[in-house]
Amino acid sequence: MLASAAGIGVDILYVITGKHRATEDSLSEDEQILVQHYRSLKESDKQAIYQVSETMAAYRIHKESE
């Protein structure tokens, strides 16, 4: 039943949780470009980007907690 509803465009996540799923429409222009670039990368490059972003986020969280 849920698959049928999704097939006609119903946001199943919203039906179940009350929260809309993120779509590219909800991203800023810069974020959309970043996602496009990321999707064009080889898997090894995606891993490198992931590691850099994880490190930067952890550093920011650490600095904000001081």
**With 60 as the cut, is the pLDDT of residue 24 above it?**
no
Nearest to 13 by CA among 2, 4, 24: 2
The Cα-based distances of 51 to 6, 33, 38, 42, 60 in angstroms read 34, 19, 13, 14, 14
Note the pTM of the prediction, 2 decimals. Answer: 0.53
Domain ranges of the chain: 2-64
Residue 6: per-residue pLDDT: 82
Asked if 9 contacts 2 with a C-beta cutoff of 8 angstroms, the reply is no
